[in-house]
Amino acid sequence: MICELERKDIEEFKTTNILPQTPFWGRVKSEQGFIPQGFELTISKNLLISNASSLEKEVEDLLILIKYISNDTCIAYVPYGPKLVPTFENQGLFLEQLSESIKPHLPPNCIFIRYDLIWENQWATEKEYFDNSGNWIGPPPNQTQEFRVNFGTTNWNLHKSVQDNLPKNTFFLDLTLEEQDLLYNMRYNTRYNVRKANKKGIRVREYGIEHIDSWYKLYLDTAIRHGMPLQNQEFFSTILKNQDNNKNGVTVKMLMADIDDKFLSSMFLVLSKKRGTYLYGASKSSKKNSMASYALQWESIRMAKAWGCTEYDMFGSAPNLNRAHPLHGIHVYKKGFGGDLYHRMGCWDYPYNKKLYDFYKLQEAQKN
């Protein structure tokens, strides 16, 4: 089995649906304190599928973000990568060989590498992890997950992270469907609210960075209302400033819904290859009866379809309909648009310095 990496300028990456594996994401994260590094990954196909030929090769781009946590130590993070998807039984072996192949390319003081895996969660395909209503109850305890993922590896060194960085659960909409079918697939209340917003005269339009102040006011309203950690305005300006704005890269559309020139709801729609992503959303506390967020989301879906996207990522939800989950309300809202719920594997770590990794993990756990 072969797993090789060569340095590659991130600006030379091929276009991809996976937004956090784009040059755009690397540029954005560079302004947020990370050091982006690009690689071209080449592996023998039997590292993905056991019965495949070792002579067949798979090649893919890989974005790694380096973050210094002190003057003399750093961590490596792979956002929604690697993009290559092994069979369930090969996941651990693939990550182990990839981690060892990456190690010489990382700073010598790198404590561990963290993969934010897009792969479907292994336990989301097994009936015993669903309740009688068809709701996924989630994966087993970390120890059980680690035993299965490490099975067949040499070092048994893969650990489930204390926390997940990017959304682990999301809804995907199939944009190859006609608009009337997309509407038909919505829950009745959602479809009703979309039409109600239109009748009330809600307008949805795209705005440039000159309106970032208006976006930020809605964001502050939303963040304070839900007790979310606050980002500064420059955080969102960076997203608009770093877009490629062409079909071969990433395009960001800041959409806002208003009535009588008063902004009620806003979002960032990000278009990358054939996928539209609902990256950030915000809304005004008052005038909820206007249903502006429904009109905004529907227009965003239509816009992504018109752009040529074949899928739409709602980018984050609860794993099920458990009312106690902090994302329950968001889950119900997004579920109403009729997409399919998808569960990712989330974050997994491969330590290079076990002692420092255990200390870092302890600190992480105390913050949660």
Whether 96 is in a domain gets the answer yes
pLDDT tens-digit series, residues 228-242: 788 999 999 999 999
Residue ranges making up the domain that contains 56: 3-166+344-367
- For residue 226, what pLDDT is reported? 77
Q: How high is the mean pLDDT of the chain?
A: 93
Same domain, 103 and 146: yes
pLDDT digits (tens, 9 = 90+) for 327-346: 888 999 999 999 999 999 99
Q: How far apart are CA 104 and CA 258, in angstroms?
A: 53
Per the domain annotation, does 81 fall within a domain?
yes
Residue % of the chain over a pLDDT of 70: 98
Between CA 61 and CA 316 the distance in angstroms is 24
The pLDDT of residue 288:
63
Residue 339 within any structural domain of the chain: no
134 in the same domain as 42: yes
Which of 296, 49, 68, 80 lies closest to 194 in space, CA to CA? 296
| 327 inside domain | no
**167-215 tens-digit pLDDT:** 999 999 999 999 999 999 999 999 999 999 999 999 999 999 999 999 9
pTM: 0.94
> Is 10 inside a domain boundary?
yes
Is there a domain that residue 325 lies in?
no
Residue type, 280: Y
What CATH number should be reported for the domain holding residue 30? 3.40.630.30
Among candidate residues 284, 309, 334, the one where a domain is terminated = 309
Q: Are residues 353 and 226 in the same domain?
A: no
Q: How many domains does the chain have?
A: 2
Same domain, 192 and 158: no
Report pLDDT digits (tens) over 74-108: 999 999 999 999 999 999 999 999 999 999 999 99
Q: Are residues 96 and 180 in the same domain?
A: no
Q: What backbone torsions phi and psi does residue 354 show, to the nearest 5 degrees?
A: -65, -40
Give the distance, in angstroms, between the CA of residue 23 and the centroid of all CA atoms in the same chain: 15
Asked whether residue 289 carries a pLDDT value surpassing 70, the answer given is no
Establish if 328 belongs to a structural domain.
no
**What mean pLDDT is predicted for residues 133-158?**
95
Higher-confidence residue of 130 and 50: namely: 130
pLDDT at 261: 82
Q: Is the per-residue pLDDT at 1 higher than 60?
A: no
Instruction: Write the DSSP string, 57-87.
Output: EEEEEEEEEEEESSSS-EEEEETT---S---
Q: What is the pLDDT of residue 248?
A: 84
Specify the pLDDT at position 367. 80
Same domain, 111 and 186: no
Note the pLDDT of residue 308: 96
Residue 275's alpha-carbon distances to 16, 116, 178, 230, 342, in angstroms, are 9, 19, 16, 27, 15
pLDDT category at 307 given cuts 50, 70, 90 is very high
In this prediction, what percent of the chain has a pLDDT beyond 90?
82
pLDDT of residue 206: 96
For 131, the token pair is 């309740």
**Same domain flag for 69 and 204:** no
- Which has more confidence, 215 or 51? 215
